[in-house]
Structure 1
Amino acid sequence: MAIEHDFFGLLESGPDGSIFWSENIEFGDQSVTVDLTAPDQEDVSQAALDVAAAMVSSLETLDMSARNAMVNELDDRTSEVTEYLLQQQATFGDQLEELLVDISGDTHIDIIRSLQLMSMTILADEHGGADPFAVLEYALDPDATDDVLLVNLASDGTVQSVTSAD
């Protein structure tokens, strides 16, 4: 079986009924991997695909919301964002400034601004549910695949949580 969608094209299901779509999207001066997945094609509605397409098209807006959510967590010294930023400072030490795109004097803000959006995973079967519909993955060092922050989004685009990959 397959699902046809204007944005994603023909989404064919695998032998287990799952669907998967992947594309590299140019975002600023980088390439972001966007994956759409669902374990069972039967759980994916046209509305979910429409929302997913809108999210891909508004990646810049979602990125800004995600970064603002990270900034909002800076007041909490025990938040995963704060712990991630402190870890990055410890890991890179004096070389940290070389990774920053802008140096304003507020190191935590500068790190958040400098994080690279690595990927967006859309969990198409979670449309309208309590679990994340999309997950944005950020890294300061693109080669450190385990050292990332994950921003979980609801299907309406609101930020549900920001977590580290640990």
Structure 2
Amino acid sequence: MLERPQAGEYNDFFTRYIGLAPEGNLITLLEEQQAETNRIFSGLSEDQADYRYAEGKWSLKEVLGHVTDTERIMSYRLLRIARGDQTPLPGFDQDAYMEGNPFDGLAVTDLLDNYNAVRQATIVLLKQLPAEAYTRSGIANQSPLTARSIAYIMYGHERNHLTIIQERYLNS
């Protein structure tokens, strides 16, 4: 089983995300989270998915696009580090990624297809890694990071956004 990362395996910025992952098999948790995300977004009309809870905030479509983009980037980092690549990996600016994004012009079903493809690729990658690969360390955004910490960060990042969706979008 994929063990929870320890302090020192990741930048302190990610402590909150890692803490959002409950105890249990992380791969199972990622699969359950995928089902939850699908339930939420597949139940939205296009108008509902275009909703922003305040001026200047992302639409629900943009949130899903952001979650997908972030997981794609983090999964790439996980692959590089798990394979032993010691090349420092650059950071990314989520706001720059959102400028000129196509998400509001896409159907929710298309955004979900993209999300599901990325999540399934992440899950397959995690299932196929040898145990020793999870504790390999690399550098991303000028900070040390282990492969397993990235997996937990991906879960926590999405959990954070799902909580915001429940609190600020769906309960409005």
TM-score (normalised: structure 1): 0.34
TM-score (normalised: structure 2): 0.33
Judging by fraction of residues, say which structure has more helix. Answer: 2
Larger Rg: 1
